[in-house]
Structure 1
Amino acid sequence: MSPSPPSLPVRRRLVALGTAVTATVALAGCGADVRSASKGTSEVTVKRCGEPVPYTVPERAVAYEGGSADKLFSLGLTDHVLGYVMPPANPPVSESPWAARYAEVPMLSDDLLNKELIVSKKADFVVAGWNSGFSDQRGITPEILDKLGVQSFMHTESCYNYPGFPQKTAPFEGLYTDLERLGAIFRVEEKAAEVVSGLKKRVAAVRASVPPGEAPPVFLYDSGTDQPFTAGSQVPPNDIIEIAGGRNIFDGLDERWTQVNWEAVTQAAPEVIIILDYGDQPAQKKIDFLKKSPRTSKLPAVRNNRFFILNYNEGISGPRNIDGLEKFAAYLRSPAS
């Protein structure tokens, strides 16, 4: 049975300080010096999407999926991580640059995030995305956790349609913002600034390497046979494609992950197709479908065998977005097969 929820209120003493927290972190991931903040009693106000929320320093954090865990590990916060929740679609954690950090903490569940797990494990902090981890339908939202005395944090990239406190930002800017805000919450602002600076330098180097000329049209194929699921302008692959020198054929869709139709894909005639690769949707199966389907077999990208495989954790918000960017930029410069 779940224990009684803690009585300490975590939220609702909202302080409109407008604290523009601008600290963020580098990808080193060694143990950062986290101040106890008077044993966790002092607070810092940081925005959760568009909502100012007071936080004490978390000691028992739960991360949902690789992007959340990678952000915490990249800031050197392993000692503050209780564990992670990793659904089967996620690639093995052994593939992460922080595999050694994952090995230091337990996997709490291989299912979707749920309130019962968080309460039973006595977590004091949860990191996830809106409608990716947190969900009204499944009964686990920041508001519900607030009432239970559990702090929470949402990926800025997922705040686009968060009820009441939406926040819209370019996906990579959302990544930097998350690292800055997490750095403030855990009182590791300098580490966060170091990590973000490193990421920005890598992004700038890719931008500088883009050759002149027209950007090739690119289609991201997530899943779906009757109708494809793809990336709109509000998720990291859109920035990956644009910064690397391509053009997302659905960059005009003011959406995150969304369903489209094959007619729109055909009309856009993509020259490159990014295949999002994850556990229960292997990349080769998707490629085989695109080659066999009469709706896609004659697309320029398919005829020329121009498929780029993007790891799931390079496509969702997290430090590995920059790995995906660098790899895709190199692929665009490579000759057609």
Structure 2
Amino acid sequence: MDVTRTPRPARRRTALGTALAAALLLGGCGAQVETDADASGKVSVKRCGEPVSYTLPRRAVAYEGGSADKLFSLGLADHVYGYVMPPANPPVEESPWAADYAKVKMLSDDLLNKEIVVEAEADFVLAGWNSGFKDERGITPEILDRLGIQSFMHAESCFNYPGYPERLTPFEALYTDLDRLGAIFRVEEKAAEVVAGLKKRVEAVRAKAPGGTPVPVFLYDSGTDRPFTAGSQVPPNDIIKTAGGRNVFDGLDQRWTQVNWEAVAEAEPEVVVILDYGDLSAQKKIDFLRTSPRTKGLPAVRKNNFFVLDYNEGISGPRTIDGLEKFAEYLRGIER
């Protein structure tokens, strides 16, 4: 997620085998991982739509909770040197992988930049395009390539990556990232196990989704003059859809984007999902929606149908599936 946009406030070490499988294909998840290993121990894996050769990382740096969680879920704490965690993120102690966070260094509570990565002597950086990696801040995969520092981008953020775009649904992108990271770090079997577990949980939710017309749902991220919300290219869109709802802005081919209150009113959402992060609490966001003349008449507000989604359940990472299960349970319990 791009936490820098305005007007938002702001080593379990594994041995390198002599050869890797030519390709890892997990049916139904959209993941295609090229894993041809050459004599030097490099492996070719796609970074967005670009094939890139990777050596086994030993000093990885992760930006935000979603990135670190992906690595920790694959048992890679021994390969992680540290993480960068801007203020929008909830405390790492709340993560299921809190013990792994405690083993590595917190490098900064600011935004990702080249200086942090160089000072850490990182050999691998994991972040999203146009969020952690950003032209305006002088840290992009191309810049890091010139410095000899490997990088990888969340597939969920690749749909508009210059030169090598890639389009996957958010859940497919999560599975793909885990597959590709498994190839880069030579833990393909662990990645396949993790992905299979996540997919099983998703299908269990899908099987229980209410029938009939999907419930119209509005995700409220932030903003008073104009709201930020979720387009079709971010995890909440798949969370809402899989649970049996419909993101009222799923027609926007965007990630996190700005709309206007008139469009929200016209959509008549029956549920509002509050993305919880930063200095403005979820309760304050709910209070605003209850009192603003532009939103207090919304069906969801009148019925008090609010669901709070944790920040790390709303960005690309394993905790997205936790958010899915919680929202699905909530949605099955509301009256229509």
Question: Residue type matched to 2:134 in 1?
Answer: S
How far apart, in 1, do the equivalents of 2:241 and 2:116 lie? Answer: 39
CA deviation map 1:232-281 (0-9, x unaligned): 00000000000000000000111111000100000011000000000223
Mapped partners of 2:102, 2:117: distance in 1:
20
1:271-286 pair list within 5 angstroms: 271-286=270-285
1:27 is matched with: none
1:98 is aligned to 2:97: yes
In structure 2, the partner of 1:220 is 219
Using the TM superposition, give the Cα deviation of residue 132 of structure 1 relative to its aligned residue in structure 2, in angstroms: 1.2
Compare relative contact order (CA 8 Å, sep 6+) and give the higher one, 1 or 2. 1
1:22 lines up with 2:25 in the alignment: yes
Residue 166 of structure 1 corresponds to: 165
Matches within 5 A, 1:31-70: 41-70=40-69
**Contact 1:22–1:177, Cα closer than 8 Å, also in 2:** no
Q: Partners in 1 of 2:49 and 2:168 — Cα distance?
A: 11
Unaligned runs of 5+ in 2: 1-21, 28-36
| Matching residue of 1:191 | 190
Distance of 2:120 and 2:214 partners within structure 1: 49
State the match for 2:150 in structure 1: 151
Q: Which position in structure 2 is the counterpart of 1:250?
A: 249
Do structure 1's residue 296 and structure 2's residue 286 form an aligned pair?
no
Aligned residue number for residue 310 of structure 1: 309
**What secondary structure does 1:164 align onto?**
coil
1:29 maps to none
Q: What is the CA–CA distance in structure 1 between the aligned matches of 2:117 and 2:24, rounded to whole Å? A: 27
AA partner of residue 22 (structure 1): L
Over the matched positions of the two proteins, sequence identity in percent amounts to 76
Q: Which runs of 4+ in 1 moved over 4 A?
A: none
Alpha-carbon distance between aligned partners in 2 of 1:312 and 1:41, rounded to the nearest angstrom: 40
1:303 alignment partner AA:
R
Query: Is 2:219 aligned against 1:206?
Result: no
Query: Is the CA contact (8 Å cut-off) linking 1:67 and 1:313 kept in structure 2?
Result: yes
C-alpha displacement of 1:41: 4.6
- Measured in 2, the distance between the counterparts of 1:170 and 1:251 equals 12
Equivalence for 2:5: none
Q: Specify the alignment match of 1:332 in structure 2.
A: 331
Q: Which deviations, in whole Å up to 9, do the C-alpha atoms of 1:88-132 show, x marking residues without a partner?
A: 110011111111111111111000000011011100000000011
Give, in whole Å, the separation in 2 of the partners of 1:20 and 1:261: 45
Output the amino acid matched with 2:56. Answer: V
Normalised by the size of structure 2, how large is the TM-score? 0.89
Displacement after TM superposition at 1:20 (Å): 4.5
- RMSD, aligned CA: 1.7
DSSP 3-state at the match of 1:172: helix
Moved more, 266-275 or 278-287: 278-287
What TM-score does the superposition give when structure 1 sets the normalisation length?
0.88
How many residues matched? 306
In 1: Cα distance, 2:51 partner to 2:24 partner? 11
Q: Unpaired runs of 5+ in structure 1? A: 1-18, 25-36
- In structure 2, the partner of 1:31 is none
Whole-angstrom CA distance in 2 between matches of 1:23 and 1:127: 22
Residue type matched to 2:255 in 1? R
